[in-house]
Amino acid sequence: MDQRQREQYLREYGIQKSKGKPFFPYAILKDGTMACITLAVIILLAVILGAEIGPKADPTTTSYDPRPEWYFFFLFELLRVIKPPAIVFIATIGIPTVCMVLLILLPFIDRNPERHPARRPVATFTGITVIALMTYLTVSGALAGPPGTISLKTPPQYQAGKLVAAESGCQGCHKIGENGNPGPGPNLTHIGARLPRNAIARTLVNPTAPMPSFSALKRQNPKKFNQLVDFLAQLK
Amino acid sequence: MTPPLPRALRPKPPRPGSKPGRNGASANGATGGGDPKALKKARKQAQREAMKQQALEVPIAMLGWLDERTGSTPFLRAFLFRKTPQGTNWYYTLGSATMFAFVNQAVTGVVLAMYYNPSTTQAYGSVRHIINDVFLGELVRGMHKWGSTVMVVLVFLHMGRTFFFGAYKYPRELNWIIGVVLLILTMAMSFTGYLLPFDQRAFWATVVGVNINASGPILGPYLADFLRGGAEFGTTTLSRFYAIHMLVIPGLIAALIGAHLYLVAKLGTSAPPWLKAEKARELAEEEI
Ligand code: HEM
């Protein structure tokens, strides 16, 4: 907007404002109504859905579900889409940071003096696309199955390790056989063929982000840890 | 100076020769002082009238007292009676609804903080205690938990409104920028709060979240170490998250909401863009 357009805006805005109504009591009445609705919705949600709390946190186990609050699903889902470890930081830090910087700079990027959504098609289209994309990522993040069972056939001596793997939430990020999510981690169905046993153990203790480290399991329950590694190493 | 409340509420004695009240006299058509009944009624009326006057003076005097010492009346008046442009509609309530959701978080959060104990051994138990034993504890925790969802939804709706209305353009660019910072802080609230109940889901989701931070280039690992309070998850992590969640970020949010609202009051809210478009067309036609 150049000087003339700015002055014209202020002039027009002055007219519109002089034709308007005072904040008190008109706008404040609407705001108050909305506040009551907000409070009612919050109380309703609290009463109907309650405040469940899961089992106590235990760094050594096992049955967990590494899920964020639902409004972070779209970020988590990005991780599923962008898998190669070398560029994972693009999904984890890169894209969100770039988005925030773009958002902050928006008033300087979009210098079109028009304000009507129909008269600035690029901005409106971009906005709708971003909303659609975030909705899509959130929904597919919500639909991603919870980890829990592994239906793969396993020799009896590795049964214990399979249980540990099933309980440990690996499938939130890995596919093992039929079960689990196809990302952000690689498919583990044939991990034994790809990595030797000690390399698997090393990955579990010292993984690349975003995979959590299972060093606590190794320290506090080495038996379970070894069962887990044995199970993974025989997946060929 | 004391507010003249006690004396004011005392009825004044009628003066000799004072006229009976307007209504009393005309209503029953009596002429002057003869009828004792009408006189009594008129006097009562006058007393009531005087009391009303005196009572009205109390808040005025109190405001005067405040104004004399703070000079706040012009600000209050400018804030309350400033005009909102024509066409202001329900979409314009989303910002104040967000603020209300934040107030809800603050109030329920203070109640929760009275019972919560941020240590790895006690945290989970104290949350259980809130849910099971504290009077209305489950409701308050539910309101805090679901209030966070409502606040995030409202922030996004409010942002969508300002985006599609083009409200981030001149002269409100700065308000948009403050808004983006508020958005980031709101998400940070949610992230730091998620760990506090210290159940399995909270713990592991936060482990993953911090690892995600660690994957950032250059600063990432330092940020992760800072959040954890060391290389491993532990009691420091929990109390650190707690302090950030209940002191640092809410303080920043409250201050920034103050700045946001100051700019809103100073610049005025934008008018809906469709009104603007019509106006512009009218003007253009006039000019031809
Ligand atoms: C804690 C979060 C926030 C609170 C409490 C808040 C509060 C408010 C309030 C009360 C208004 C007055 C007008 C209205 O309600 O629409 C407003 C206006 C505004 N807000 Fe926010 N806001 C928040 C977040 C944001 C965000 C995330 C953005 C955008 C990135 C934003 C951008 C704006 C802009 C540009 C205006 C001026 C709108 C106009 O003049 O029409 N705000 N805000």
Is there a single domain that holds both residue B222 and residue B121? Answer: yes
My answer on whether B110 and B200 are in the same domain is yes
Flag whether A103 is in a domain. Answer: yes
Do B47 and B174 share a structural domain?
no
- Asked if residue B79 is part of any domain, the answer here is no
Domain-terminating residue out of B43, B72, B101: B72
User: Would the CA dihedral through A24, A26, A29, A34 be positive or negative?
Assistant: negative
Residues B58 and B186 in one domain: no
pLDDT at B24: 44
| Pair (B113, B198) in one structural domain | yes
Cis ω before A210 (30° cut-off from 0)? yes
Cβ(B170)–Cβ(A1) under 8 Å? yes
* pLDDT above 70 as % of chain B: 84
Quick one: B112 and B214 in the same domain?
A: yes
**Residue type (1 letter), A80:** R
The CATH number covering residue B115 comes to 1.20.810.10
Q: What is the pTM of this model?
A: 0.78
Judge contact between A94 and B250, C-beta under 8 A. Answer: no
In a domain, residue A7? The reply is: no
Same domain, residue pair B106 and B249: yes
B77: in domain: no
B12 within domain boundaries: yes
Residues A182 and A226 in one domain: yes
pLDDT of B189 > 90? The answer is: yes
Cβ <8 Å between B124 and A39: no
Query: What is the Å distance from ligand 1's center to B64 Cα?
Result: 33
Closest CA to A92 of A188, A213, A211: A211
B98 shares a domain with B63: no
Q: Does residue B140 have a pLDDT over 50?
A: yes
A13 vs B101, residue with greater confidence: B101
pLDDT attached to residue B143:
96
Tell whether the model's pLDDT for residue B18 goes beyond 80: no
DSSP bridge partners of A179: A176
User: Quick one: closest CA in B to A95, which residue?
Assistant: B216
Residue A228 sits in a domain whose CATH number is: 1.10.760.10
Question: Given a cut of 50, is residue B29 above it in pLDDT?
Answer: no
- For residue A109, is it within any domain? yes
- pLDDT at res. A85: 66
- Provide the number of structural domains found in chain A: 3
Q: For A27-31, A139-143, B128-132, B234-238, which range has the lowest pLDDT when averaged over its residues?
A: A139-143
On whether ipTM exceeds 0.85, the answer is no
Residue of B nearest to A63 (CA): B200
Residue A207, domain extent = 156-233
Q: Cis omega (within 30 of 0) on the bond before A222? A: no
Q: At A96, which helix (H) or strand (E)?
A: helix A95-109
Domain boundary among B15, B37, B72: B72
Contact A27 B184 (CB under 8 A): no
**pLDDT band at residue A91, thresholds of 50, 70 and 90?**
confident
> Which residue shows structure tokens 């808040």?
B59
Name the closest-CA residue to atom 43, ligand 1.
B95
* Confidence at B182, pLDDT banded by 50, 70, 90: very high
Does B199 reside within a domain?
yes
Say if residue B173 is in the same domain as residue B259: yes
Specify which residues A22 forms β-bridges with: B83
H helix runs in chain B, sequence order: 5-9, 22-27, 36-70, 73-81, 94-113, 123-132, 137-164, 173-195, 200-214, 220-228, 235-243, 249-267, 273-287
- The parent domain of residue B22 ranges over 7-72
Same domain, B62 and B104: no
Nearest to A18 among B83, B180, B276 (CB): B83
- In this structure, the answer to whether residues A89 and A131 fall within a common structural domain is yes
- Cα dihedral A16→A17→A21→A27 (10° resolution): 110
- Identify whether residues B132 and B39 lie together within a single domain: no
The number of domains in chain B is 2
Buried/exposed B20-30: b ≥16 CB within 10 Å, e otherwise: bbeebbeeeeb
Mean pLDDT for all residues in chain B: 85
Which of A143, A174, A193 delimits the end of a domain?
A143
CA distance B269 to chain A (A): 9
Verify that A118 and A186 share a domain, yes or no: no
According to the model, what pLDDT value does residue A161 have? 83
* CATH number of the domain bearing residue A110: 1.10.287.980
In this prediction, residue B30 carries a pLDDT of 45
* Same domain (yes/no): B52, B106: no
Query: What does B30-73 look like in DSSP terms, one character per residue?
Result: --GGG-HHHHHHHHHHHHHHHHHHHHHHHHHHHHHHHHHHH--H
A224 domain-assigned: yes
pLDDT tier for residue B231 given thresholds of 50, 70 and 90: confident
Burial of B201 by CB count in 10 Å (0-12 exposed, 13-18 middle, 19+ buried)? buried
- Whether B2 is covered by a domain: the verdict is no
Residue A152: closest CA among A136, A133, A134, A170: A170
Mean pLDDT is lowest, of A76-80, A123-127, B16-20, B70-74, for: B16-20
In the structure encoding, which two tokens stand for residue A1, read together?
A: 């907007």
Q: Is pLDDT of A94 > 60?
A: yes
What is the number of alpha carbons within 13 Å of residue B231 lying toward its C-beta?
Answer: 4
| Residue B13: pLDDT over 70 | no
Antiparallel, parallel or unpaired: β A179-180 and B83-84: unpaired
- The rounded Å distance from CA B260 to ligand 1 centre is 7
